[in-house]
A and B are shown apart, each in its own frame.
Chain A
Amino acid sequence: MITFFSGLMRLRRSPWEMVATILIALGVVMLMQPFFLWGYTYSFIVTLIGTVMFIIVSHFPE
């Protein structure tokens, strides 16, 4: 966990990619879940942030 947070602080690719992946997955789940309409409403922005973040952080050093 400490390695993960220190990687985030030092702008390393792996932990940031992990965060972006979690956001994308969360966005997809929010998009398709049948429970909360607000989840569906905000799903696109979550997926968009995750996807753009993924593109940016994939250029970070390993």
Chain B
Amino acid sequence: MSSTPMERAAKATPRLLAKRISGISDRGIAWLFVSPTIFLLLAINIFPLIWTIYLSFTNYRANRIGREVKFIGLRNYERILSDPDIWQTMQATAHFLLGTLFFQVLIGFSLAWLINRKFKGNDLWTTIIVLPMMLSPAVVGNFWKFLYQPQTGLFNYVVTFFTGVDPSSYTMIGDVALAPWAIIIVDTWMWTPFVMLICLAGLRSIPDYLYEAASVDRASKWRQFWTITIPMVLPFLMLAVLFRGIENFKMFDLVVQLTGGGPGSITELTSINLKREAFEKWRTGYASAYAVILFVTVFGLASIYVKALNKVKER
């Protein structure tokens, strides 16, 4: 007679252990299984968070171990929130965010709309378009650095082909006016497929009968697009915007590899600036306050993101 998996597990359990756990309730066993995860979560996420909040109220420096740590109240927050240089990095981040979101939504939605049409090689094109998203940001940053080289890089020659501008007359990552656009172009190249996939999911969720009913009512294609396609895809689009917004707010690796925050500090995004404060200037307390400000902002945005996600799920 074949035994059930539960019976086999009971047989395989050593007698001593079985005796010990036989008196534990189901709830107790559930806690027993969950407790390692909870412990890890507390140790890796919650404790560092609380410790960072504590450090943000002190003048602690991680490179001066023996130094007395003084409680300085909200002074770190006051300094950060009145520092024009950090305000400048926030503006650089805003420029990066708005630029990437605008182009990613525009190109991503257009690509999704094209891919959604049934044509030969549809799946192959989807795979090709999605490829950049699968690469490591550090690798992407590095090879775009080569592409942007004014003498040998391909980018300037492509621009020359279309505009006739001398390729050695400008450098994308060395020019104060062009460097912010250089990082936007690379992030757009890498993450537009992600927006496209989300939009594609939205487009494929629209039932055909809506278009058929609109056609029966003699609605033009343009009208169908604005009254059926856009409203139905909008929650998905919002989701993509929020997700990319949160990710780009924390952007670090790609930009560090590409420009290192330069020229000057024109592409120094908040996360790069934070890393400099924490691990180059070693102002740990100050950097902790900075991190708490960024954390609250990202947490707030994530709350909106979850709310939008639930709305999409309800549909």
Contacts and interface: CB of A to CB of B under 8 A. Distances in A.
Answer yes or no: are A and B bound together in one complex.
Answer: yes
Interface of A: 17, 20-21, 24-25, 27-28, 31-34, 37, 40-44, 47-48, 50-51, 54-55, 58
A51 B299 contact: yes
Contacts of A55: 303
B296 A47 contact: yes
For chain B, give the interface size range: 10 to 19
Nearest to B245: A28
Contacts of B84: 37
8 contacts: A31-B90, A32-B90, A33-B91, A34-B91, A37-B82, A51-B296, A54-B303, A55-B303
Interface of B: 77, 81-82, 84, 87, 90-91, 93-94, 97, 293, 296-297, 299-301, 303-304, 307
**Secondary structure of the B side of the interface?**
helix
A48 B90 CA distance: 17
Closest 8 pairs (CB-CB, A-B): A32-B94, A24-B300, A51-B300, A54-B303, A34-B91, A41-B81, A40-B87, A32-B90
A43 to B, nearest CB: 8
Contacts of A54: 300, 303
Contact of A32 (B93, B296, B299, B307): B93
Contact of A21 (B97, B297, B307): B307
Contacts of A51: 296, 299-300, 303
A52 B77 CA distance: 18
B301 A17 contact: no
